[in-house]
Amino acid sequence: MTIWTAHTRPGAAPILIKEGFSLGGLVFGPLWLLARGAWIPGTLTLVAWVAFALRPAPLGTLLLLALHWGIGVFGRDLWRWSLGLRGYVAAHVVAAPNQDIALSRLLDRRPDLIAAAVALS
């Protein structure tokens, strides 16, 4: 069973974010953050990525590996933080095997979110 956090904002569809390690964050690093709209952490980690890539081989490689590992571990938290800056509030925690069932359970508990979820689907 996977744990999902549901983030809501008036007039917008809820966003579900899975808890735990992000393989996409590990592999794609700052690009993964930017693709999710986490502009501030994505830009800062991209700048760090470029700075680390310009370092000499052994140190630069270790710094890049550490950066990617950090994004894998903390990337979803950075995404949640970015949603908070855009006015989203962590509204619920849902346990479900996949995102569709998590959304279904959320809408079952909060029928007031159905209009926003259907309008933007």
Q: 22-40: per-residue pLDDT in tens?
A: 999 999 999 999 999 999 9
DSSP state of 39: H
Domain boundaries, the chain: 2-119
Give the Cα separation of 104 and 96 in Å (integer).
9
Write the pLDDT tens digit of every residue in 66-113.
Answer: 999 999 999 999 999 999 999 999 999 999 999 999 999 999 998 888
pLDDT on residue 121? 53
Whether 86 and 9 have beta carbons less than 8 Å apart is answered as yes
